[in-house]
Structure 1
Amino acid sequence: MKPMTDRSALLSSLEARLATRVRVVPPSGIRRFFEIAATMEDVISLGIGEPDFVSPPAAIEAAIASLRAGQTGYTANAGLMELREAIAEELARRYGVHYDPAREILVTVGVAEGIQLAMLALVEPGDEVLIPEPCFVSYGPTAVFAGGRVVYVPTSVENDFQVTAADLEPYITPRTKVLMIGYPNNPTGAVLRRRTMEEIGELVVKHDLFVISDEIYDRLIYGRAYEEGHVCVPSIPGLRERTVLLGGFSKDYAMTGWRIGYACAPEPILKAMYKLHQYIVMSAPTMGQVAALAALREAQDDVERMRRAYDERRRVIVDGLRAAGLPTFEPEGAFYCFPDVRPTGLSSEEFAQRLLQEERVAVVPGDAFGPSGAGYVRCSYATSLENIREAVRRIQRFVARVKEERRVET
């Protein structure tokens, strides 16, 4: 037993010597349930935020052709110029925002790298970063890794999970430097209305802040949001010169494994991010960049086909959850819904655990995305209609059983 004791002590000693910025950040609240589900049979996963579609054929064929042609070396650190030009053209056409592809656009290893680069470029130790929540799980940790102090700003279903200028202003101090936002939102499916963003823009200018805007789901919008159009943050008056715009190909184009994102920002900010990028990753994967370029040029019909499919799934899952007795906010973007599970009397964690164990349906507890997510769970509808319909049947059966248990107990 002594060697085991010695090993345990050694491991504890090593852990204690790790950098504090890493030790204070908990593991992702999303992955835990997937790891449990992976050990079980007949599980329907509504947990993972990954399209179930295969990447567009044009992207796949372009990548294969590039490999066969021997295009296996590095690209320029900032990415293929053709790709940056195509990104610039797409943003100008869709949103009327203009970036110089040579000086203001950087191809990144997914949006994940872009968020971290932006935080490292903008945040000094001790600076405060405002983050509306519920939010994607990586926003806070990336700010912490940059030495920032995270200030979470709660949002609520009563305001459609939109953050407003009135919500933000009480949290602004002389140390506030960055506002990190992500709309369409993961996990709620909320979108920001233009007038709301204009009011936020006025607040940002008033307090001389920067904005990091994660718009990875910009094409996946539905209903009223689709009719009105996505609100691209740098298109708001006064924000173009204060914003790092982040986008990519993982969600809209079903290209998660290709790991291609992009960052757009004024030249001084982009240069700082570029410097970090050079030292951290050198350049994004070459075949992924070739595939992304082909996707921009040839896969717009594929994006619309997937968007329509998600919209149909959205209606089925929202209607089914409401029929189960779970109040469910109407998502207008991304591919998540965020039902309120409090009518069952269970916490988010209890609901997710029991649903997985008893009905083999995996969801993510809402408080994994921030305190405002307590009492909710995140359900992804990036899976087939067949899976969604079966998952809804199981959830309805589970909720009815839990409510009956409570009735008997009382």
Structure 2
Amino acid sequence: MTLADVAPAALRQERTLVTEIPGPRSRELMARKHHAVAAGVGTTMPVFAVRASGGVVEDVDGNVLIDLGSGIAVTTVGSSAPRVVEAVGRQVEAFTHTCFMVTPYEGYVAVAEQLNRLTPGTHEKRSALFNTGAEAVENAVKIARAHTGRPAVVVFDHAYHGRTNLTMAMTAKVRPYKHGFGPFAPEVHRAPLSYPFRDGGLDGETAARRAIEVIDEQVGADRVAALVIEPIQGEGGFIVPAPGFLPALLEWCRAKGIVFVADEVQTGFARTGAMFACEHEGLVPDLLVSAKGIAGGLPLAAVTGRAGIMDAAHPGGLGGTYGGNPLACAAALATIETIEAGRLTDRARRIETLMTERLSRLQRDDPRIGDVRGRGAMIAVELVQPGTREPDADLARSVAAAAHAAGVIVLTCGTHGNVLRFLPPLPISDALLHEALDILAAAFARS
């Protein structure tokens, strides 16, 4: 199977600029947006999409952009992947909604079965489906509290878990996610993360002991229902903890009766070169939260975990009108088939090799690139003042803007806004990746 099998051929896989970015039609639509859409809904790029497939996005002015964002890690199998389009089309013709809690349907059950099969561990599992990552994180907390009878939740520095009231409390970054929106849900406590670039060489097990000491002293292990952590942080800066950090935390949770929740909303479904990022260190979480790449662009999320924990919530305690919508379930089953048939975890590892080699060469020539990190097709560079670890958010904004103007979709992240993150769709060609990295190098040279 080739990449052509997971990307429709209707849209040529090459960058094409026919107007400036943004073009006149996009500027017209942006003016309409300002009058019609709430000001709090921002956009990364001022261009409006009309088509996307494989590794490119076409805008209303006919410009074709190289996609290094995947709609923030959602279109992992490429936008409008053929199997997904076909499966959703069949489901639309059958029915669009009944609500699983009213008249259930096989698609929901089939997705749960696949999640139980794919997530780490051979123990008996259960799954529940929701709409968004934030909703699934909240439900993981509900389940953990029901199972343990405890109130407290532990999260980590630089974490991002969502935009609802509880998940805003769990998220570390104030702007733009929390500023002006409090007060937030109580009993959310923060511990220090392993951050190798900024930890002065602290090894994973030592960093875990530091976090555990904070939890013991400031919360009390016997009050903690759940420890919730991203195996690789997303919005926080694509931070990969030092080896041993996550296993040590998991071991401590087991000893203390704390539910270990892996938030794999951004890292799941082949993104990091494994189906789930936990697999890189052999972790078997109690609960795993998935979303984003799960359904090829349709809204779906899930909590999957140990049957004895998942079944702690009383009947009727979990659910939602749209949770596990039949269209999204059809898309999820097709997405899983696409990943497995196309061996897209292998493709993610190939992307990692290509991107880290190119970015590391760039780092050797530019002291402003402090760190190159990530796994699979989840790669980032952290930008600093030369010779220091002082964050340089202005440089990140400048390089991203230059890339945007040249037709490359690039995202920023990090607590200080000084990280460029790259989340290409897995069907993207090597040629497009090299072209995008050439443009990035030129942007650094001009910034």
Aligned to 2:252: 203
For residues 352 and 38 of structure 1, the distance between their equivalents in structure 2, rounded to whole angstroms, comes to 23
Residues 273 and 113 (structure 1), Cα distance of their counterparts in 2 relative to 1, 3 Å cut: farther
CA apart distance, 1:171: 1.4
Q: Superposition RMSD on alpha carbons, in Å?
A: 4.3
Residues 198 and 392 (structure 1), Cα distance of their counterparts in 2 relative to 1, 3 Å cut: closer
**Counterpart mapping for 1:176-187 below 5 A:** 176-187=224-235
Residues 176 and 315 (structure 1), Cα distance of their counterparts in 2 relative to 1, 3 Å cut: same
Residues 160 and 379 (structure 1), Cα distance of their counterparts in 2 relative to 1, 3 Å cut: farther
Residues 299 and 388 (structure 1), Cα distance of their counterparts in 2 relative to 1, 3 Å cut: closer
CA apart distance, 1:32: 4.8
**1:88 counterpart = 2:116:** yes
CA contact (8 A) 1:321 1:327 kept: no
**1:341 counterpart = 2:421:** no
SS in 2 for 1:220: coil
Residues 180 and 192 (structure 1), Cα distance of their counterparts in 2 relative to 1, 3 Å cut: same
Pick from 359, 362, 384: which aligns with 1:318?
359
CA contact (8 A) 1:348 1:376 kept: yes
CA apart distance, 1:84: 1.8
- State TM-score, norm by structure 1: 0.67
Aligned to 1:107: 129
**1:132 counterpart = 2:156:** yes
Aligned to 2:3: none
CA contact (8 A) 1:181 1:212 kept: yes
**Counterpart mapping for 1:119-198 below 5 A:** 119-122=141-144, 127-136=151-160, 138=162, 140-141=167-168, 143=170, 146-158=185-197, 164-172=207-215, 173-174=219-220, 175-187=223-235, 188-189=237-238, 191=240, 195-198=244-247
Aligned to 2:348: 307
Residues 64 and 296 (structure 1), Cα distance of their counterparts in 2 relative to 1, 3 Å cut: same
Amino acid at match of 1:350: D
Percent of aligned positions that are identical: 14
Aligned to 2:422: 380
CA contact (8 A) 2:195 2:242 kept: no
For residues 362 and 47 of structure 2, the distance between their equivalents in structure 1, rounded to whole angstroms, comes to 21
Pick from 82, 89, 112: which aligns with 1:57?
82
Structure with the larger helix share: 1
Aligned to 1:12: none
For residues 183 and 116 of structure 1, the distance between their equivalents in structure 2, rounded to whole angstroms, comes to 18
Aligned to 1:221: 272
For residues 33 and 68 of structure 1, the distance between their equivalents in structure 2, rounded to whole angstroms, comes to 33
For residues 422 and 98 of structure 2, the distance between their equivalents in structure 1, rounded to whole angstroms, comes to 37
Mark the runs of 5 or more structure 1 residues left unpaired by the alignment.
Answer: 1-26, 368-373, 403-410
Aligned to 1:288: 328
Pick from 24, 40, 44: which aligns with 1:34?
44
Residues 274 and 194 (structure 1), Cα distance of their counterparts in 2 relative to 1, 3 Å cut: farther
CA apart distance, 1:286: 0.7
Amino acid at match of 2:188: R
CA apart distance, 1:115: 0.4
For residues 138 and 162 of structure 1, the distance between their equivalents in structure 2, rounded to whole angstroms, comes to 26
Aligned to 2:18: none
CA contact (8 A) 1:359 1:394 kept: yes
Aligned to 2:374: 331
Count of residues in correspondence between the two structures: 350
For residues 48 and 387 of structure 2, the distance between their equivalents in structure 1, rounded to whole angstroms, comes to 26
Amino acid at match of 2:135: E
Residues 156 and 382 (structure 1), Cα distance of their counterparts in 2 relative to 1, 3 Å cut: same
- State TM-score, norm by structure 2: 0.62
